[in-house]
Amino acid sequence: MTQRRLLLIDDDPVFGETLARTLSRRGFDVQWVGNRAAALLHSSRGAFTDITVDLNLGEDSGLSLIAPLRQAHPHARILVLTGYASIATTVQAMKLGANNVLAKPAGAADIVQALNDDGPEQAGSGDEPDLQPMSVSRLEWEHIARVLHEHGGNVSATARALNMHRRTLQRKLAKKPVQR
């Protein structure tokens, strides 16, 4: 069996480096890049079997990379990772050529499963993906989790960034997130 080559596109160096090491241990030959220009450059330098794209790449949108990546690698599995999952974004990513969309935070096992999954686009009979809207509570939880991650787990800094009282944020963090 040939080794799978993965182009990992994510502007978060901690997440990118950690995920690259973890996926390397799972048998992938991983090339991690942190921006749009580097992604296009690496994409032109070799064949990739799998590609993960972060939806938010600093000032750029990962969605803008899907079409050129699909053109350069027509048989690659393209997975979009996002901290802001929505039906509209998922449908747009699929129409542009992504095979799957996965909400962050996602572990290596989730990412490998999503890369191996046929995804809604190929699994059905050509119908639109069967997507359920996320609840407002779940969207709020995901946004808080992302901002908390951006502030290194610092609850006070996260509360300031969200313009929220620290104790209110602590109460929200103590609750289990709703599934959808």
Q: Which pLDDT belongs to residue 138?
A: 66
**Residue 87 · residue 112 · CB < 8 Å:** no
Mean pLDDT of 24-35: 90
| Residues whose CB is less than 8 angstroms from the CB of residue 130 and which lie 6 or more positions away in sequence, other chains included | 120, 124
Residue % of the chain over a pLDDT of 70: 82
Backbone angles phi, psi at 179, to 5 degrees: -75, -45
163 Rama sector, left if φ>0, alpha if ψ -120 to 50, beta otherwise: left
- Among 2.115.10.20, 3.40.50.800, 1.10.10.60, 3.40.50.150, what is the CATH number of 136-174? 1.10.10.60
| Residues whose CB is less than 8 angstroms from the CB of residue 48 and which lie 6 or more positions away in sequence, other chains included | 5, 6, 7, 31, 73, 76
Q: Which pLDDT belongs to residue 135?
A: 63
Tens of pLDDT, residues 31-56: 999 888 888 888 888 889 999 999 88
Mean pLDDT of 7-15: 89
Tens of pLDDT, residues 124-174: 334 444 444 556 676 777 778 778 878 878 889 989 999 999 998 888 877
Q: Which pLDDT belongs to residue 120?
A: 44
b/e string for 9-31 if b means 16 or more Cβ within 10 A? bbbbeebbeebbebbeeeebbbb
Domain chopping of the chain, boundaries? 4-123, 136-174
Q: Which pLDDT belongs to residue 102?
A: 86
Between CA 33 and CA 143 the distance in angstroms is 24
Q: How far is CA 176 from the centre of its chain?
A: 22
**Among the listed residues 123, 132, 74, the one whose alpha carbon sits nearest the alpha carbon of residue 100:** 123
**Residue 58 · residue 31 · CB < 8 Å:** no
**Span 4-123 CATH architecture:** 3-Layer(aba) Sandwich (3.40)
Half-sphere exposure of 135 (CA within 13 A, CB side): 7
Pair of tokens at residue 33: 């890049």
Q: Which pLDDT belongs to residue 52?
A: 92
| Residues whose CB is less than 8 angstroms from the CB of residue 123 and which lie 6 or more positions away in sequence, other chains included | 117
Between CA 139 and CA 88 the distance in angstroms is 14
Establish whether domains 4-123 and 136-174 are of one fold: no
